[in-house]
Structure 1
Amino acid sequence: MNLDTHQKRNTAARLKFLREKLSQVPQKPGVYLHKGYDGEILYVGKAKNLISRLKSYFTGLENHTPKTRALVAKIYDFEVIVTENEYESLLLENNLIKYNQPNYNILLRDDKTYPYIKIDINEKWPRVTIVRRRKKDGALYFGPFTISGQVQQLMNVINRFFPLVKCSSTVFKTVSRPCNYYDIKRCLAPCKLDVKKEEYHEHLNSVIAILNSKYKDISKKIKEEMLKAAEDMKFEKAALLRDQIKALESLTSNQSVTLDADIELDIFGSYWNEEIVTFYVTNIRDGKVVGGNSYLIRHLTEEPSEEGILDNKKVEQERIFTSFICQFYENKSVPESVLFENAINIISNSTYEMINSFLINKKQENLNIKKTLFYLKRDVYVKSIKHENKNLTNKIKDLIYHSNQNAENKFIEQNKMDENSNQMTMALQNFLKLDSIPSLIECYDISTFQGAETVASQVVFKNAKPFKSGYKKYIIKETVGKADDFASLREVIRRRFKDKEKVIYPDLLILDGGTPQVREVGWVLKSLGLGHLPFIGIAKSRGESNFTSSQIVNSFERLVVPKRNSDGDVLPEEEPETKILKQGSFEFKLVTQLRDEAHRFAITFHRQRRDKSSMKSVLLEIKGLGLKRRKKLIDIYPNLKDILQYPLIEVSEKTNIPLNIIQEIVKKIKDQNS
């Protein structure tokens, strides 16, 4: 069903093509993918009846909500994948959303900014490390950890009381003797000593149990091992196991809410709005509340109502609740039970069965065995665990209330942030008299020192908040060895907009500079055929030619706005207009935040480049440090400053570089940092 959609069609022809294509769609369950003009996937959805669902998009347009109309206006093609049943379509939809990350689907994007704990079980001697991104590499990932200090507390316990390998694979292969961690009993040193894999994996399995919050089970197991070690007169091992038990007690002592049953449960709370849905998930393990995180979902589109559906709002809520649950457990271990009382009147029986099957499948249990993991009523859940006491029921009731309350608090907090963001972008629109709200803004800054290591930064704000995935760094190539901010700025703008077919254009460009920079960029944009693109410069106001440093510091911020003709194209040959920003105004806050962030980003990158360059030159000055030795040194210590943290003899042994040369390297590094 992949017909050519890349040729541009007007609205009537586009809809005619889509409606004609409906005749090829079967009346079966499956997944559909809406595609845009250039073939990108806009939205992934599932349906009991594909033709009925797709027909609702392209007929009766006058009845669509503004969200649906906005999506349909961008659809140039669709693709369908038929499945055997609804459950298969749920799994396929979830996988396609995860893989393609369509803009119009609800997406759990927050996880990527939080740390995970990773155990690469593919390594011969697996290590426990902190990472920021989860990869498909066969490793075990735990998290994400959103509570401040939680991941560090866990790592402190693991590193101190469980003697696992801590050095990188490169260091592990090159060491000549066990390191200091072995001396202080924090590593078994399999790098050089004959360590039994069974012993190593005992400690590793204990760590995995801790990260799965199985504190009670692992405490019991370690206690038995400790008693056995003491009977066998292995007192050193017994002492280590005793310390591990104490560490576990310290982890559980911070968990203030304790239930009267050893249950494993996630409680979902939610707060619904037409634009935003917030969730709060409370985690209970071994009868203790071990954590809770809030999540925010923006639903940018609505599926149109199918024929015979009376309450489409309820259908929308069901779709979002279902999608959230599936995405939530995609990268997390499923507990023994999941309770979501707010969904009791939202989720239908058929969807309930699908979610329950999905959770069983994720828990890697037999789908053929009738089992319930998903609950919509707390009394049904309490009966299922056979702990029907009033105290437990009341505690679970309180936790449900607090989960919903925390979800509502998250919504209120986000609402205030959105209101502030809207005020800033609307204020800037009015101040600059822009045709539309500048939701996507880019700001550029050049950083150099006497023409050396010149770099540029591009920071992006989306809805008045930093959009880190849009940040870019540029190494300036055309002005190497000379300071020329104008040439550097021209190079950056040309590189940014060189591929006009694929580029996403911002609503506003901001340059850290005044009239000369604005006119220079005006000429570049005009030559690229982008003279209509809104852009401004930001600079300090200088009222006199003979200003003092104190006047510069106290001067107001000014925006430099280029002149344009009646068609909106820039006129770089004319003198730009200068607008003074009122200090403390919404537009002042937004523009100065962008400028300061671009400056910080550029300066940080410039320092990194400069430090790296000067460090390489330091190595070249040292006699006896040839190419092979330099390469080996940098392979083992990519950041040469790390050498200062280790004994010089150890560095010398690892690198096979004579001690006197290592001493010279350390001296040079210290001199450079002084």
Structure 2
Amino acid sequence: MFEFVTKDYPTDPGVYLMKNAQGKVLYVGKAVNLRSRLSSYFRGEVAHPKTRALVARVAGVDVLVTGTEKEALLLEASLIKKHRPRYNIVLRDDKSHILFKLDKTHDFPKIAFTRRVVRDGSTYFGPFTSAQAARKTWRELNRLFPLRKCRDVSFKNRVRPCLYHFIGQCLAPCVGAVGKADYAVLVRRVEAFLSGKSADVLKRAEREMLEASEALQFERAAELRDLLAAMRATIEGQAAVLPNHPDLDALDVFSAGGGMGLTVLFVRQGRLLDRANFFWPDFTDEELPEALPSFLAQYYKPESFVPGRVMLSQRMMEAMGEEAAAVTADILGERRGARVVLNAPRTDEERRLVEIASANAARAVAEAGAGGAQESMPALLGRKLQVGREIGRIEVVDVSHLGGKGMRVGMVVYEDGRFDRQEYRQYAFPELEGSSDDYAALARWVEKRIDSGEPWPDLVLIDGGKGQLAAVERAMGAAGLPHLWEIASIAKSGRAMNAQDDQVFRPGRKNPLALRPGSRELLFLQRLRDEVHRFVIGRQRQVRKKQAFASEVLNLPGVGPKTAKLLWERFSTLEGIKSATVEQLAEIKGLGPRKAAVVHAALHSSPPR
């Protein structure tokens, strides 16, 4: 039991980290006065059952002093993201939502997908929580407005129009089929449409249609007529909730059954665009004052789109308090690069919008299983794998090689309900080349993974049987960290070719776990195994393709490893080099006209040896 000594802690603002006996961070909190805040946990009776459970597990408390409450809030958000403590509000899906990006620094901009806001002069529209919905909208926009779709590299090197031009969805600026001025008119129309100024766009298009008709340009008039019809059909599907309002997000929470749901509604130019739902078990209204600033600092990251106004329900504003709300608004303003207003609804329409957010938050609670519904996957896995706690972060590993050549271990990460592809890794082991030793590769992977440090996984799932599991277990023991993370392996049973006969092994057990074929947990583990297998095989193919390419190109006269690398990065196939002109080859930085002429002549005089 942790013994709290008051004089050991400062009275400054800062952040505190509560840890268990194994050193794992259980909770991260901020305080204006660290000593006073920590005293509330360890002096006197703690009322809330969840807080009592937390305090009972605390074996130590670390503190980090900051200069201001604002710095404490920023540091708290950073540490929560790093440690993902069990007793904090942690975003189940903290990735940024999809945005449309219109790069206006380019002479012929296109609409691209992005998850990061970079202040480079581009214009952003969104966000969209569903990639499928975003792509559907993107296709509709391209049907309405024929902007280019190709990447900048393809745009520079294209010599004839692509298929999109022939089906009427691109003006082919790549081959000079449209001038900058005419293309700029289309870009302004797209920008106005996405900004919610659809009425102005419709009026201009209708005026242009009448002018084209009077000038006997019937083909152009027909194009504008079809554009008008398509835009009107698109606009009818949008819900106008706050006419003549600027961009804002509306939030509310709903508590029931020992859990709390929160919904963010995205309102752009007065129209309800999308929403995001969150749910945290074992959270109540009593925790709102501390949880809300933490959520907002985590959700609106520096690379996120931050609207000019964030509207919270009246009870959320009261729970936060004026001082915390002002500090949070200041942080969001810095991330936006302009002032952000954080306040409650002021009109009946705004209150109605918050009611919609509240209804969606209640739905999030119901769908997440508060009050006895379906068990969450982290809890189900913890119980079925006999871990004794929820499993959050899972790292899945698989060994891949071709007859001992190209020995690699691929790793994918599943965390908080999604595959985190930014965390995928491929580990190469040239020292094991030719050995075909999967066990040695897994042991080396354990060493490299420990060297890379936190965040540690709750579970490492290995594609393999008891031998692969034992290899990882031995390597963890040899490193002096036998209990750093839980491990399990998944393998075919050998009884049949039926995929449902996969078996899952855990250390200390001779027989596999009794997981029912077709059960939620087994199907989930199979999905993880299939993803790492897809990833590592795909990377192996890329490496072999690159090696084969380099082998062919290096046989060309005057081409060495450096030139081969430049050609690979630019074209990636031998056919791509062969179809390139001398001018296109010379455009490659580091190649030059003379070397380009040598390569081009070698390619077209005789095939590579």
Matched, 1:128 2:111: yes
Task: Please name the residue that 1:293 is paired with.
Answer: 275
2:134 aligned counterpart, secondary structure:
helix
1:474 aligned counterpart, secondary structure:
strand
Matched, 1:406 2:360: yes
Matched, 1:332 2:332: no
TM-fit CA distance, 1:118: 1.9
Match for 1:513 among 448, 461, 464? 464
CA distance in 2, matches of 1:653, 1:238: 41
CA distance in 1, matches of 2:257, 2:550: 56
Q: Is 2:399–2:438's contact at 8 Å kept on the other side of the alignment?
A: yes
TM-score norm. by structure 2 comes to 0.72
Task: Please name the residue that 1:572 is paired with.
Answer: none
TM-fit CA distance, 1:296: 0.8
CA distance in 1, matches of 2:490, 2:169: 57
Matched, 1:82 2:68: yes
TM-fit CA distance, 1:626: 8.2
TM-fit CA distance, 1:79: 1.3
| Pair 1:157–1:46, CA change in 2 (3 A) | farther
2:384 is aligned with what amino acid?
A: A
Q: How does 1:187-586 map to 2 (within 5 A)?
A: 187=171, 189=173, 195-196=179-180, 200-223=183-206, 244-255=227-238, 257=239, 267-273=250-256, 276-283=259-266, 290-298=272-280, 314=285, 316-321=287-292, 324=295, 331-332=304-305, 334=307, 338=311, 340=313, 343=316, 346=319, 374-376=343-345, 379=348, 381=349, 397=352, 402-415=356-369, 416=373, 418-429=375-386, 441-460=394-413, 471-498=424-451, 502-503=453-454, 505-532=456-483, 535-541=487-493, 551=496, 557-559=502-504, 562=507, 577-579=510-512, 581-584=514-517
TM-fit CA distance, 1:456: 1.6
1:491 aligned counterpart, secondary structure:
helix
Task: Please name the residue that 2:593 is paired with.
Answer: none
Task: Please name the residue that 1:155 is paired with.
Answer: 138
TM-fit CA distance, 1:459: 4.0
| Pair 1:459–1:579, CA change in 2 (3 A) | same
CA distance in 2, matches of 1:133, 1:642: 34
CA distance in 2, matches of 1:436, 1:653: 62
2:442 is aligned with what amino acid?
A: L
Give RMSD over aligned pairs.
5.2
Question: In the TM superposition, what whole-angstrom CA distance separates every residue of 1:86-132 from its partner, at most 9, and x where no partner exists?
Answer: xxx4xx66655666635356455636264322233444554321134
Question: In the TM superposition, what whole-angstrom CA distance separates every residue of 1:161-211 from its partner, at most 9, and x where no partner exists?
Answer: 545454434344555677776786824637868945x65444333333333
Q: Is 2:100–2:126's contact at 8 Å kept on the other side of the alignment?
A: yes
2:382 is aligned with what amino acid?
A: T
TM-fit CA distance, 1:654: 4.3
CA distance in 2, matches of 1:131, 1:487: 40
1:76 aligned counterpart, secondary structure:
strand
| Pair 1:106–1:299, CA change in 2 (3 A) | farther
| Pair 1:327–1:242, CA change in 2 (3 A) | farther
Task: Please name the residue that 2:10 is paired with.
Answer: 22
Question: In the TM superposition, what whole-angstrom CA distance separates every residue of 1:267-287 from its partner, at most 9, and x where no partner exists?
Answer: 544322586432334455566
CA distance in 2, matches of 1:98, 1:232: 62
TM-fit CA distance, 1:587: 6.3
Mean Cα displacement is larger for which, 230-239 or 477-486? 230-239
Q: How does 1:14-53 map to 2 (within 5 A)?
A: 15-16=4-5, 19-23=7-11, 25=12, 32-34=14-16, 43=28, 45=30, 47=32, 52-53=36-37
TM-fit CA distance, 1:451: 1.9
2:313 is aligned with what amino acid?
A: F
Match for 2:537 among 591, 595, 603? 603
| Pair 1:362–1:562, CA change in 2 (3 A) | closer
Q: Is 2:46–2:52's contact at 8 Å kept on the other side of the alignment?
A: no
CA distance in 1, matches of 2:66, 2:214: 66
Question: In the TM superposition, what whole-angstrom CA distance separates every residue of 1:260-309 from its partner, at most 9, and x where no partner exists?
Answer: 9555675544322586432334455566x543323215389x9xxxxxxx
Task: Please name the residue that 2:589 is paired with.
Answer: none
Question: In the TM superposition, what whole-angstrom CA distance separates every residue of 1:447-487 from its partner, at most 9, and x where no partner exists?
Answer: 22222323222345558975656543222322223422232
CA distance in 2, matches of 1:531, 1:365: 50
1:577 is aligned with what amino acid?
A: K
CA distance in 1, matches of 2:365, 2:420: 20
Question: In the TM superposition, what whole-angstrom CA distance separates every residue of 1:604-628 from its partner, at most 9, and x where no partner exists?
Answer: 3333333443444455578998879
CA distance in 2, matches of 1:504, 1:267: 32
TM-fit CA distance, 1:425: 1.9
Mean Cα displacement is larger for which, 602-611 or 222-231? 222-231
| Pair 1:208–1:339, CA change in 2 (3 A) | farther
1:453 aligned counterpart, secondary structure:
strand
Mean Cα displacement is larger for which, 506-515 or 620-629? 620-629
Task: Please name the residue that 1:112 is paired with.
Answer: 95
1:294 is aligned with what amino acid?
A: A
TM-score norm. by structure 1 comes to 0.67
CA distance in 1, matches of 2:490, 2:337: 57
CA distance in 1, matches of 2:195, 2:492: 54
1:78 is aligned with what amino acid?
A: L
- Aligned pairs, number: 577
| Pair 1:410–1:446, CA change in 2 (3 A) | same
Question: In the TM superposition, what whole-angstrom CA distance separates every residue of 1:571-600 from its partner, at most 9, and x where no partner exists?
Answer: xxxxx7234635336765565454444434
2:305 is aligned with what amino acid?
A: K
Q: How does 1:93-108 map to 2 (within 5 A)?
A: 96=75, 101=81, 103=84, 106=89, 108=91
Gaps of 5+ in 2: 587-595
Q: Is 1:268–1:400's contact at 8 Å kept on the other side of the alignment?
A: yes
1:604 is aligned with what amino acid?
A: G
Mean Cα displacement is larger for which, 590-599 or 37-46? 37-46
Task: Please name the residue that 1:391 is paired with.
Answer: none
CA distance in 2, matches of 1:284, 1:108: 21
CA distance in 2, matches of 1:185, 1:536: 50
2:401 aligned counterpart, secondary structure:
strand
TM-fit CA distance, 1:66: 3.4
CA distance in 1, matches of 2:14, 2:106: 40
2:432 aligned counterpart, secondary structure:
coil
2:443 is aligned with what amino acid?
A: R
CA distance in 1, matches of 2:147, 2:326: 43
Mean Cα displacement is larger for which, 489-498 or 347-356? 347-356
| Pair 1:274–1:468, CA change in 2 (3 A) | farther
CA distance in 1, matches of 2:298, 2:323: 19
2:67 aligned counterpart, secondary structure:
strand
| Pair 1:144–1:99, CA change in 2 (3 A) | farther
2:10 is aligned with what amino acid?
A: L
CA distance in 2, matches of 1:464, 1:361: 30
Matched, 1:186 2:170: yes
| Pair 1:260–1:597, CA change in 2 (3 A) | closer
Mean Cα displacement is larger for which, 485-494 or 648-657? 648-657
Q: Is 1:284–1:290's contact at 8 Å kept on the other side of the alignment?
A: yes
TM-fit CA distance, 1:426: 0.9
Question: In the TM superposition, what whole-angstrom CA distance separates every residue of 1:511-538 from its partner, at most 9, and x where no partner exists?
Answer: 3333443444444333222345654544
1:153 aligned counterpart, secondary structure:
helix
